[in-house]
Structure 1
Amino acid sequence: MGIIIAAAGFAKRFREAGGNGNKLDARLNNCSVFAQTLRHACATHLAVHVVTRPENILIQELCRAQQIPFTLIESAGLGESIAEGVSATPHWNGWLIHLADMPFVPPAMFVQVADALALHELVRPRVNAQPGHPVGFAHCWYDKLSRLTGDNGARELLRAEAVHFIEIEDGDSQCDIDLPSHLDQENKHAAS
């Protein structure tokens, strides 16, 4: 079992809102957004595989430095990224799909989802009735995951199936970095 970190998006909203460069390289609490996401995933001691774009050089360098395998893809959407990551790890008995722009998910949450996959085929955290990340899939989902396309990720798969939810109280853990203002808020919060 392991964690697929999807880091192959275009960050369109971030750039349209005035952000410069790749939001995953942006500074957050003394490191980059991606570095914090990767650090939390690695702290679980689960296997980690990153899916990123060829032009995301800093992400590739960070993965190489930590000996984290990665797949390069000219991704047309999250579905394609998930399919590539799952196809690269067919020997895993389950996958925790996580978004690289969600750096606040603590290692313990990944472990909770992984542990619940021993009893359930689909697992995800939920806070205030809102489903969150990472999303856990047992190995029986390999065929469907490896054929995903488009930008909806695995959303269509989750609609028709019974998902086991882990109720959490830490809503902040589910925040993502979509806009430059999100970085400003988090960096100010860390400094105070």
Structure 2
Amino acid sequence: MEDVGGQPLLRHQARMTQSIGPVTVALPPAPHPRYTAISGLDVTALPVPDAAEGMGASLRRAFAALPRGTAAAMVMLADMPELEASDLASLAASVDLNSDTLIWRAATEDGTPGHPIIFAAALFDQLRQLSGDDGGRAVVRGAASRMQLVPLSGQRARLDLDTPEDWAAWREQQR
């Protein structure tokens, strides 16, 4: 759990996402340090007992936990330190549930698809069936013709830090 701005990035991301709507955080089974990172926030901690299976398990559990009647849901990765609340607001503002669009996806300034992604309810059943570590890629590919890209500033929609080397390089650039 990397620290950004004096707090764990997961906490920062969860707090920022609260400005858009209710937040559910998919987590490995407790006890785990990620629970401490979000303690005291008005978010729902969602234990994923089969988290070792990969991203598919987290998405499957999260979409299964959505309240009945949810019209759309945002999937946000917790390892994207340059996303800002204004990015989430822009993405959320692009949603038009009266259109044929099923996916609203953040993109880089030059149009390269990235994250976060908002899925319309018509895709929830597919997302509840996911398995493995491919995440929702197959669902996104299947609905690509009904996807709207929402450009964000710079490369924010693609800057995803997964390794210690990624974090070290990013921190060096921040100096």
* TM-score of Structure 1 vs Structure 2, range by shorter chain: 0.7 to 0.9
From 35, 47, 51, the counterpart of 2:11: 35
Distance 2:157 2:137 in 1: 20
Q: In structure 1, the residue corresponding to 2:66 is in which secondary structure?
A: coil
Answering whether residue 132 of structure 2 is matched by residue 150 of structure 1, we say yes
Could you tell me whether the CA contact under 8 Å between 2:105 and 2:148 is conserved in 1? Answer: yes
**Partner residue of 2:66?**
89
Distance 1:164 1:65 in 2: 35
Displacement after TM superposition at 1:56 (Å): 5.9
Where does structure 2 lack aligned partners over 5 or more consecutive residues?
none
Count of residues in correspondence between the two structures: 166
Displacement after TM superposition at 1:26 (Å): 2.2
Answering whether residue 46 of structure 2 is matched by residue 80 of structure 1, we say no
Where does structure 1 lack aligned partners over 5 or more consecutive residues?
1-24
Q: In structure 1, the residue corresponding to 2:26 is in which secondary structure?
A: strand
TM-score by length of 2: 0.84
Paired residue type of 1:46: G
Could you tell me whether the CA contact under 8 Å between 1:102 and 1:177 is conserved in 2? Answer: yes
From 127, 133, 142, the counterpart of 1:160: 142
Answering whether residue 164 of structure 2 is matched by residue 180 of structure 1, we say yes
Could you tell me whether the CA contact under 8 Å between 1:177 and 1:183 is conserved in 2? Answer: yes
Instruction: Give per-residue Cα distances to partners, 1:113-167, cap 9 Å, x unaligned.
Output: 2222224321101223421111110111121111111111111111122211112
TM-score by length of 1: 0.77
Displacement after TM superposition at 1:172 (Å): 3.6
Paired residue type of 1:153: G
**Partner residue of 1:18?**
none
**Partner residue of 1:110?**
88
**Partner residue of 1:3?**
none
Structure with the larger RCO, 1 or 2 (CA within 8 Å, 6+ apart): 1
Percent identity for Structure 1 against Structure 2: 20
Q: CA RMSD in A?
A: 2.0
Listed as ranges, the matches of 1:62-77 within 5 Å are: 62-73=37-48, 74-75=50-51, 76-77=53-54
Q: In structure 2, the residue corresponding to 1:158 is in which secondary structure?
A: helix
